[in-house]
Amino acid sequence: MKLLLLVGMLTACAAVTQDLSGKMFTFPLETNTTHVKLTTTKQDFNAVTVCQRSFTDLQRSHVLFSLAVSTFSNGFMVLWDGADKELEIYTQNKFAVFGKTDYKQNTWQSICATWDSASGLVQLWLDGLPSVRKFTSSGSNIRGSLIIMLGQEQDSHGGGFDIKQSFVGMLSDVHMWDYVLSACEIQKYVNEQNFTPGNVLNWAALDYQIVEKVMVENKDIEMACI
């Protein structure tokens, strides 16, 4: 029987840097407090790519990735809108809607989101399939004191959590780049091939802090046999 690794289930853990290859964050409770804070030294972005894998049974709205700066609570965010059944990408409090996507419950899905300041265009990649490009914001960088969270949507810089936008489920393989990842690299990520890891957030060397009830488990635990 494969053993699972429990690092969470604490009020707050000290920040650690860890190779999480083959692991996942499990968010087992619906709360307005539980989250994972991710740390990076970079504070200025003229482009962004975020990729991650998620598994949830939530049908209501829930956040997948939340980056806030002091001037924009939604500096860069990926959100599932359960009411309208659409994925949304926010940059600098502006957002684009991606409807009729094949976002599913109770299965692992790979989600990548990109933004470029020069053009203002964002794009969503769901399981390697690209969306149309849409406009959100252009002409200025995302910069300032960054707070990046998994599990909660920031309505204010580092706070303002809404339990009905919280994430319940599993998240894994979170990477962030300070440039728009090529289509080829995104496909490599989706297919779990030898892709270029994130130069801002790297799942294999992740600096993170768990707040309250989050667990770190082996990603294949649900497939383990006795």
Mention every residue, 6+ apart, whose C-beta is less than 8 A from residue 25.
8, 36, 150, 151, 170, 171, 172, 214, 215, 216
Cβ proximity of 42 and 174 under 8 Å: no
Note the pLDDT tens digit of each residue in 14-69: 788 999 999 999 999 999 999 999 999 999 999 999 999 999 999 999 999 999 99
The highest-level CATH class for domain 34-217 is: mainly beta
Q: Which pLDDT belongs to residue 197?
A: 98
Q: Which pLDDT belongs to residue 9?
A: 43
Note the pLDDT tens digit of each residue in 210-220: 999 999 999 98
pTM for the predicted model, two decimal places: 0.92
Domain spans of the chain, in order of start: 34-217
Note the pLDDT tens digit of each residue in 165-186: 999 999 999 999 999 999 999 9
